[in-house]
Amino acid sequence: MASPLHFRIEHTDRGSHARVGRVTTPHGSFPTPAFMPVGTRASVKGLLPELVRATGSEIILANAYHLMLRPGSDLIARRGGLHAFMRWHGPILTDSGGFQAFSMADINRIDDDGVTFKSIIDGSMIRLTPERSIEVQNDLGADIIMAFDDCAPAGPDVGAARLRTAHERTVRWLERCVAAHARPTEQALFGIVQGGIDLDLRAASAEAVTSIDLPGYAIGGVAVGEGPALIHRVVEFTAPRLPADRPRYLMGVGYERDLLVAIRSGVDLFDCVLPTRNGRNANAFTRAGRLHLRNARWAEEDGPIESGCDCAACGGGFGRGYLRHLFMAGEMLGPILVSIHNIRHFQRLLLDIRRSIREDAWSWLFEAWPVLQDPEQAAPSLHT
């Protein structure tokens, strides 16, 4: 059966697992390593599709859980699918909704068949199974869709038995997702590796999940409460165990240093809400670290968020003092401009990382991006 996704590795770093490649989908191609802005409810908050595209973003993420609840995947299907509905004509990836069902919802019951939870919209009881998750994602029509997995929480209270159950369920549910997938020549289904911080379980999960031939594979269940050191340990262990000829996706991560560690471990694809969530809260990312634009020190500062940045905020001449005013006055333009800047920040970082891989220029990268040198900048990410 012909795959709807093609992955070509163009260059591999001599000193690590990092590689530069290109993913081609029915709605276009994009270079890897790639960062996906999060458009949870078919919208990257506050930004027109052309503004997102202008940041250098070529693929975005939407969430099946939220779109299933509102407006409903069947309605989106009748509107021509997610690309037409949200007017984003490039590649889209949809998350299965598993993480949200387990972490956000008022769960009524978890069993080997699926999850029953209370809708955050109207309180009605919802049943989400592997088959239903795939049906929703088939309706949405994204280029890359994710298997429904059991994402166990992190923390010292999560026992080995719960992690093993999550691993075993994830593998069984993946088999059901493959069987339920009604559009395999149009949508690429990725499997997800679980196992928490238990490296033996991670190895077992990677072996079992990758035994099923799929267009790509993901590392799930990280950045769910564990610290950056554990995130890095799990990713460095797991990524090389995924097939080298398929795209590797690290879900829900993260800060700049987290991305770099993952890329050097062989990861190709990332998503995170950090750029836009921080942008809405007056926090701007720069090569040297984050700025809080509500601080009074910026009130009479005319310079841009970051000199040399070519985003619509910096390149458009909007100074820090003006941006502070927008946030203090409650004007929506502030979150829009800083969100644009933050997404562009991450896309510029990925551009430079790809250059560093091609040219073996890691020392240049660390000089150009001081934030990568500071371990305090690496921290757990914020999921959708």
pLDDT score recorded for residue 380? 37
**Cα–Cα distance for residue pair 117/65, rounded to 1 Å:** 11
Query: Which domains are seen in the chain, by residue range?
Result: 6-269 (3.20.20.105), 278-377 (no CATH)
| Mean model confidence pLDDT for the chain | 94
What pLDDT does residue 99 have?
Answer: 83
Tell whether the model's pLDDT for residue 384 goes beyond 50. no
pLDDT tens-digit map of 20-77: 999 999 999 999 999 999 999 999 999 999 999 999 999 999 999 999 999 999 999 9
Q: Do 143 and 132 touch, CB atoms closer than 8 A?
A: no
Mean pLDDT in residue range 322-339: 98
Catalytic residues: 95, 271
Q: What is the pLDDT of residue 168?
A: 96
* Whole-angstrom distance, CA of residue 201 vs CA of residue 198: 5
Alpha carbon distance 364, 353 (integer Å): 10
The answer, yes or no, to whether residue 332 has pLDDT greater than 90, is yes
Q: What is the pLDDT of residues 139-169, one digit of tens each?
A: 999 999 999 999 877 666 778 898 999 999 9
pLDDT digits (tens, 9 = 90+) for 201-219: 999 999 999 999 999 999 9
Sign of CA dihedral 192, 228, 7, 77: positive
